């Protein structure tokens, strides 16, 4: 026990957990006792203030429709100011059931069937699906991998955005799975390219609060008001406070026309709302969760550093860089000599450990695996040993 509870191993099996109970659904039969280090949620309790707020709400016993109050929007706005030095007006903030539903609504509002939506793989797999499932075309501007440190291909981006068929850039900032926290200069360049080419920028900043010193997350829309008018920023307390099952997110949209177009699109799918527990949890998290977040980040940082040291010492053939943000480690296992599916097979069947296969994130991820670091240290150590013993 480390005093904050992060060392405590929690039983999550039998709770309809996607990560713990959903392995067979995704990978087929897995050996008994397999350790999941895939889906991006944490094996930690949420902050005590969040749990207490949900309990209090449950005790009320009446679970009618809710409407977020002005106080909620002020609370979100205050968090953005305190944590990210971004001054927003509460009126810019639009509630939604999740970041992916918000992205879908933005795509439908500001592009038509057959239009291109640009993404930068390797990237979070639902980015591909949300574009295709809305009958838009996935246009890839792959990240450039320089000795496992990634940067955006700005020349490629300019060429891609200059094509009038491509209406939207979907940016992942910080970037899942490569762990980059984009610098202000990079974001400024991206924002300007979008503005110059008339491309809408959707900035998915769900991992914004999960950044390690000395890096700082810069909200794309905080750079300048002219850029901000062309940006829909998607945020959520879900990753930070481990409440993704409560389905709550916000979009921050300074431009009135953009905001109204987006809201109309949300209305069309009736997803512009929150549920009663999500709202209570989000309010409590943003109001009282700051110090818990700091402790959590310190714990995950140690997990990150421990894992990097492990791979360097015990599996030097695995390529890895410390992520600047996110609790995800992006592992280059291409030197294993095995086909990518066989790496996954070995990890699961021999090692009894489940990571996300890199090819889910685009062809650029073939041969890689993504590992989730947000777990008690004892599980981390066990997972690392299992990864080693798989080969």
Ligand X SMILES: Cc1ncc(COP(=O)(O)O)c(C=O)c1O
Contact residues toward ligand X (CB under 6 A) are 40, 98-100, 124, 172, 176, 204, 206, 236, 238, 244, 249
What is the C-alpha to C-alpha distance for residues 290 and 353, in angstroms, rounded to an integer?
A: 32
Question: Which residue, 295, 212, 242, 294, is CA-closest to 2?
Answer: 295
Helices (H) then strands (E): counts for the chain: 14, 14
Q: Where are the alpha helices (DSSP H) in the chain?
A: 18-21, 23-27, 48-60, 70-84, 99-110, 126-133, 154-162, 184-197, 225-228, 256-269, 276-288, 290-314, 340-345, 377-389
| 182 vs 310 by CB, closer to ligand X | 182
> Which of 204, 283 has the CB closer to ligand X?
204
CB nearer ligand X, residue 222 or residue 238? 238
Minimum CB distance to ligand X, residue 124 (Å)? 4
Which residue has the CB atom at the shortest distance from ligand X? 98
We find the least distance from the C-beta atom of residue 205 to ligand X, in angstroms, to be 9
* 27/327 with CB nearer ligand X: 327
Residue 238 CB, shortest distance to ligand X, in Å, is 5
**C-beta of 110 vs 124, nearer to ligand X:** 124
Q: Dump the DSSP string for 361-387.
A: G-GGGTTEEEEE--S-HHHHHHHHHHH
- Shortest approach of ligand X to residue 389 CB, angstroms? 28
Q: How far is the CB of 355 from ligand X (least distance, A)?
A: 14
Asked if the bond preceding 10 is cis, omega within 30° of 0, the reply is: no
Rounded Cα–Cα distance for residues 388 and 311 (Å): 9
Nearer to ligand X, 99 or 284 (CB): 99
The residue among 124 and 241 lying less far from ligand X, judged by its C-beta, is 124
Minimum distance between the CB of residue 150 and ligand X, rounded to whole angstroms?
Answer: 15
- From residue 314, alpha-carbon distances to 308, 318, 358, 367, 389 in Å are 10, 9, 21, 19, 10
| Number of residues assigned to the chain | 391
Please state the closest distance from residue 122 (CB atom) to ligand X, in A: 12
Instruction: Tell me how far, at minimum, the Cβ of 40 lies from ligand X, in Å.
Output: 4
C-beta of 234: minimal distance to ligand X in Å? 7
Least gap, CB of 260 to ligand X (angstroms): 22
Question: Looking at beta carbons only, is 304 or 352 nearer to ligand X?
Answer: 304
Tokens (6 digits) for 159? 């060429």
Residue 333 exposed, middle or buried by CB count within 10 Å (0-12, 13-18, 19+): buried
DSSP annotation of 211:
B
Task: Name the residue with tokens 């041969």.
Answer: 367
Q: How far apart are CA 139 and CA 159, in angstroms?
A: 12
How does 159-174 read in b/e, with b if 16+ C-beta sit within 10 Å? ebbeeeebbbbbbbbb
Structural tokens at position 206:
């769900």
40 vs 379, beta carbon nearer ligand X: 40
Q: What interhelical angle do 154-162 and 184-197 show, nearest 10?
A: 20
Tokens for 267, please give them.
């209305």
Across the strands, what pairs with 94?
251
Instruction: Give 143 or 172: the residue with its C-beta nearer to ligand X.
Output: 172
């Amino acid at each position: 026990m480390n005093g904050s509870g992060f060392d405590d191993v929690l039983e999550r099996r039998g709770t309809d957990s996607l990560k713990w109970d959903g392995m067979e659904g995704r990978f087929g039969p897995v050996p008994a006792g397999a350790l999941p280090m895939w889906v991006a949620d944490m094996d930690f309790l949420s902050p005590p203030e969040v749990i207490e707020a949900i309990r209090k709400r449950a005790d009320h016993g009446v679970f009618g429709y809710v409407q977020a109050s002005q106080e909620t929007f002020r609370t979100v706005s205050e968090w953005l100011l305190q944590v990210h030095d971004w001054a927003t007006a509460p009126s810019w903030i639009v509630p939604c059931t999740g970041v992916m539903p918000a992205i879908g609504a933005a795509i439908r509002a500001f592009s038509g069937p057959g239009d291109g939506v640009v993404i930068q793989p390797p990237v979070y797999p639902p980015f591909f699906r949300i574009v295709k499932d809305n009958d838009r075309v996935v246009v890839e501007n792959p990240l450039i991998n320089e000795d496992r440190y990634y940067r955006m291909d700005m020349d490629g981006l300019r060429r891609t955005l200059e094509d009038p068929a491509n209406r939207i850039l979907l940016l992942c900032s910080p970037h899942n799975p490569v762990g980059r926290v984009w610098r202000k200069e990079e974001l400024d360049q991206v924002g300007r390219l979008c503005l110059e080419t008339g491309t809408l920028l959707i900035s998915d900043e769900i991992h914004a609060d999960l950044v390690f010193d000395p890096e700082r997350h810069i909200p794309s829309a905080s750079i300048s008001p002219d850029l901000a008018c062309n940006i829909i920023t998607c945020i959520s307390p879900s990753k930070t406070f481990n409440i993704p099952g409560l389905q709550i997110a916000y979009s921050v949209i300074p431009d009135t026309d953009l905001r109204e177009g987006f809201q109309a699109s949300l209305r069309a799918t009736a997803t512009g709302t929150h549920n009663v527990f999500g709202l209570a949890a989000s309010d409590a998290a943003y109001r009282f969760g700051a110090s818990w977040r700091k402790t959590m980040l310190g714990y995950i940082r140690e997990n990150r550093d421990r894992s990097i040291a492990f791979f360097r010492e015990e599996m030097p053939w695995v390529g890895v860089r410390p992520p600047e943000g996110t609790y995800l480690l992006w592992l280059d296992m291409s030197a294993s000599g095995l086909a990518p599916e066989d790496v996954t097979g070995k990890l699961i069947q021999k090692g009894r450990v489940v990571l996300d296969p890199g090819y889910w994130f685009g062809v650029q991820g073939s041969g890689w695996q993504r590992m989730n670091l947000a777990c008690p240290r004892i599980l981390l150590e066990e997972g690392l040993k299992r990864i080693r013993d798989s080969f």
